[in-house]
Amino acid sequence: MLKVYKSIGDTLFETDALGEKGSWVNLINPTSEEVQLVARQAGLPLDFLEYPLDEEESSRIEIEEGCVMIIIRVPVIRGDVYDAIPLGIIITENVIVTVCLENIVILNEFSPSRTKGFYTFKKTRFLLQILYKTALNYLRYLRQIDKRSEEIQQRLHRSMKNEELINLLSLGKSLVYFTTSLRANEIVMEKLLKSHLTKDSELTDVHPHLIKMYEEDEELLEDVITENKQAIEMSEIYAQVLNNTMDAFASVISNNLNIVMKFLTSVTIVLMIPTMLASFYGMNVKLPFQQTPFAFMGIVIASVVLSLIIVMAFRKKHMF
């Protein structure tokens, strides 16, 4: 899907003018024809539009004459699974282009009524706002993961099912993906900050007006880095707690299994006594008291007494 937006005053309009200065080109899981059209109309390298469409693409910055490509990994929810996918942000002298495999929440939040100070022609501010909302969404999803983890743990207290452990494992994988993506995003943000402070990095040498920061932009970037660091710390803490929880519940399940096996073994031994006595008196050989009229009752009483003695002995050793 290809859409083009442009800010006029405080209003965001959808337009068909693909290469118009100050516009925002948004590509969502585009076709090859749409990719080629944008590359041709906006004067972009075709690779810059194709890189973000690879789901395994890592966060980085690439520069070619006349444009800068920034790839970050953004959080998404697919059913009950949390994941991270690449989002490409390409800045040229005239337009800013975003490329993503899915229609993500982060870009849907950009409208004058929902984002203060959002204008498509302020490309650097737009870039930083995307980074900021990405960090906030990571934090929001991390809190959701923590809440879901607590709910699963409560269910585990009541029923030790494999399904609950599998759900915890899925959340653990999501936390690993989030931590890896957040650290990769941090490198991109630090490079942006460094390029602004040193004034002599690769970013500022090639078309410095493409990513030009004012004082407010610098403060916003610092806020972005702070929020991203907080998300990294939360992700690592949640992952560690979740791993410890899974190990603890795995030990509990194993211990419960041992208790059940011990109980069943004790029951088997107790039931073995009447079985043995009945088997002896079922043999076709002469046995004591077999001719007496109270032999059957005697066997039953003896079986019960011996079984009770064994039960009491097992209870004393906490085997029941």
Give the Cα separation of 28 and 35 in Å (integer). Answer: 10
pLDDT at residue number 97: 92
pLDDT at residue number 263: 84
Span 62-74, mean pLDDT?
A: 88
User: Binning pLDDT at 50, 70 and 90, where does residue 209 land?
Assistant: low
The two tokens of residue 18 are 């693909």
Mean pLDDT of the chain: 83
Evaluate whether 2-255 and 256-316 have a shared fold.
Answer: no
pLDDT at residue number 200: 45
- The side-by-side arrangement of strands in the sheet containing 60-64 is 11-15, 2-8, 23-28, 95-100, 81-92, 67-78, 60-64
Radius of gyration (Cα) for the chain, nearest Å? 34
pTM value is: 0.78
Taking 50 as the threshold, does the pLDDT of residue 32 lie above it? Answer: yes
Taking 80 as the threshold, does the pLDDT of residue 274 lie above it? Answer: yes
Span 29-42, mean pLDDT?
A: 88
Give the Cα separation of 136 and 132 in Å (integer). Answer: 6
Taking 70 as the threshold, does the pLDDT of residue 197 lie above it? Answer: no
Span 43-56, mean pLDDT?
A: 89
Mutual angle of helices 215-280 and 295-316, in 10-degree steps: 150
Domain definitions of the chain by residue range: 2-255, 256-316
Residues in the chain: 320
> Domain 2-255 adopts which CATH fold?
Beta Polymerase; domain 2 (3.30.460)
Which CATH number applies to 256-316? 1.20.58
